[in-house]
């Protein structure tokens, strides 16, 4: 079992606080102070993990991060017997004879959830619905009765009471995403879920400026290209695409103009390659509504960005 790492988050200089984000953070702080876990649920690229880390920064408490996956087991939460404590005694009283007395015993290591519940830390459980519901069942008593049951082979107490400063922040993608399990209602009933969508244009422009260093006008052009592609072709395209385009444009030092072939190719590579089963489903919905073939990246760029006069 890996050593537990505690994190104290500092606010990133690039973190953008628009009115919408401030409102979400204000509600989230109130929910946690009232004793309820916060759950950010939304499509990829909507800033769920960033919001969770910013929320942990606000409380200035040590934080434990758990990343959900099929590989997460109950031992990651409560701990278990890992490795051995070894003791070796070497007797070399007679120079030509070496006698070795070796004993070993298993060592118990507390898991991340035990540490957080016992000491009053924050737990960020990122993409928790990628772990199996059976694994996540251990959270039910922690979030409701404020008690964590411990394995019988752990020395000492069989349960611990959750520290009053303990807080939990969850993030997840919608259940339609590949690799995501259906979350049990009993667990969802114990948390307050904030559904996130793609941000408004003003927020996306501010994020793009902050993350890429583009000027305001160039950031607006890039964001409008991404938003138009999201509307007409792929509803799952996130702000990450705008950030990628902006950073690559800076590296190549090219103008954001429809007559610049390199800029067109960059947009095609970044936007056209962000497909998959989920985006295909969304694209089918968009096409059925429009009753027309989807626009190409080049068409969108030429429609959104004015030509150089």
Q: What is the pLDDT of residues 211-240, one digit of tens each?
A: 999 999 999 999 999 999 999 998 889 999
| CA–CA separation, 82 and 31 (whole Å) | 37
Q: Is pLDDT at 79 greater than 80 in this prediction?
A: no
pTM for the full predicted model: 0.79
pLDDT in tens, 239-288: 999 999 999 999 999 999 999 999 999 999 999 876 554 544 544 444 44
Statement to judge: residues 50 and 119 lie in one domain: yes
Q: Is pLDDT at 1 greater than 60 in this prediction?
A: no
Query: Residue range 51-74: average pLDDT?
Result: 91
Residue 1: inside a domain: no
Residue 236: inside a domain: yes
Residue 287: inside a domain: yes
Q: Return the HEC string of the chain.
A: CCCCCCECCCCCCCCCCCHHHHHHHHHHHHHHHCCCCEEEECCCCCCHHHHHHHHHHHHCCCEEEEECCCCCCHHHHHEEEEEEEEEEEEECCCCCCCEEEEEEEEEEEECHHHHHHHHCCEEEEECHHHCCHHHHCCHHHHHCCCEEECCCCCCCCCEEECCCCCEEEEEECCCCCCCCCCCCHHHHCCCEEEECCCCCHHHHHHHHHHHHCCCHHHHHHHHHHHHHHHHHCCCCCCHHHHHHHHHHHHHHCCCCCCCCHHHHHHHHHHHHCCCCHHHHHHHHHHHHHHCCCCCCHHHHHHHHCCCCC
Q: How far is CA 266 from CA 60, 92, 223, in A?
A: 40, 71, 14
Statement to judge: residues 118 and 257 lie in one domain: no
| CA–CA separation, 210 and 242 (whole Å) | 12
Structure-block tokens of residue 111 = 């898991």
**101: confidence class by pLDDT, cuts 50, 70, 90:** low
Statement to judge: residues 33 and 156 lie in one domain: yes
* Candidate from 21-30, 117-126, 175-184 with smallest mean pLDDT: 175-184
| CA–CA separation, 56 and 175 (whole Å) | 25
Please give the pLDDT value at position 81. 59
Statement to judge: residues 177 and 62 lie in one domain: yes
| CA atoms 260, 46, 21, 56: torsion sign | negative
Domain endpoint, select from 195, 225, 260: 195
Residue 253: inside a domain: yes
Structure-block tokens of residue 292 = 């027309």
Residue range of the domain that includes 293:
201-304
Please give the pLDDT value at position 91. 56
Domain endpoint, select from 195, 225, 250: 195
Residue 273: inside a domain: yes
Assign residue 74 the CATH number of its domain.
3.40.50.300
Query: Residue range 118-128: average pLDDT?
Result: 95
Statement to judge: residues 118 and 233 lie in one domain: no
Statement to judge: residues 227 and 214 lie in one domain: yes
Domain endpoint, select from 145, 172, 195: 195
Residues 191, 36: contact at Cβ < 8 Å?
A: yes
Statement to judge: residues 157 and 170 lie in one domain: yes
Please give the pLDDT value at position 158. 80
Please give the pLDDT value at position 226. 96
Statement to judge: residues 248 and 264 lie in one domain: yes
Residue 3: inside a domain: no
Statement to judge: residues 52 and 121 lie in one domain: yes
Please give the pLDDT value at position 285. 43
* Candidate from 77-81, 159-163, 283-287 with smallest mean pLDDT: 283-287
Residue 13: inside a domain: no
Statement to judge: residues 39 and 160 lie in one domain: yes
Instruction: Starting at the earlier edge strand, list the strands of the sheet with 122-126.
Output: 63-67, 122-126, 167-172, 38-41, 192-195
Structure-block tokens of residue 242 = 């705008």
| Length of the chain counted residue by residue | 309
Statement to judge: residues 254 and 143 lie in one domain: no
Residue 6: inside a domain: no
Q: How many domains does the chain have?
A: 3
Statement to judge: residues 185 and 56 lie in one domain: yes
């Amino acid at each position: 079992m890996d050593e537990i790492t505690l994190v104290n988050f500092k606010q990133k200089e690039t973190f953008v606080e628009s009115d919408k984000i401030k409102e979400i953070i204000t509600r989230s702080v109130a929910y946690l102070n009232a004793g309820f876990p916060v759950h950010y649920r939304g499509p990829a690229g909507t800033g769920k993990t960033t919001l969770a880390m910013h929320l942990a920064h606000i409380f200035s408490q040590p934080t434990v991060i758990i990343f959900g996956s099929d590989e997460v087991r109950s031992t990651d939460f409560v701990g278990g017997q890992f490795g051995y404590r070894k003791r070796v005694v070497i007797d070399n009283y007679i120079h030509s004879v070496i006698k070795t007395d070796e004993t070993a015993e298993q060592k118990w290591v507390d898991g991340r959830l035990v540490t957080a519940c016992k000491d009053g830390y924050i737990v960020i459980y990122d993409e928790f619905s990628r772990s199996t519901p059976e694994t996540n069942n251990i959270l039910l008593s922690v979030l409701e009765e404020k008690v964590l049951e411990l394995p019988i082979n752990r020395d000492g107490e069989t349960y611990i009471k959750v520290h009053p400063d303990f807080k939990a922040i969850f993030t997840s993608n919608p259940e339609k995403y590949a690799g995501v399990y259906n979350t049990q209602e009993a667990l969802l009933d114990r948390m307050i879920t904030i559904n996130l969508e793609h941000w408004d244009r003003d927020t996306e422009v501010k994020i793009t400026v902050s993350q890429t260093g583009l000027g305001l006008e160039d950031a607006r052009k890039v964001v409008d290209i991404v938003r138009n592609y999201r509307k007409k072709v792929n509803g799952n395209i996130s702000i990450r695409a705008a950030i990628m385009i902006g950073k690559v444009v800076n590296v190549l030092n090219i103008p954001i103009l429809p007559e610049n072939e390199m800029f067109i190719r960059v947009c095609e590579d970044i936007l056209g390659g962000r497909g998959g089963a989920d985006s295909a489903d969304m694209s089918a919905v968009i096409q059925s509504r429009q009753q027309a073939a989807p626009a190409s990246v080049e068409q969108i760029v030429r429609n959104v960005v004015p030509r150089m006069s």
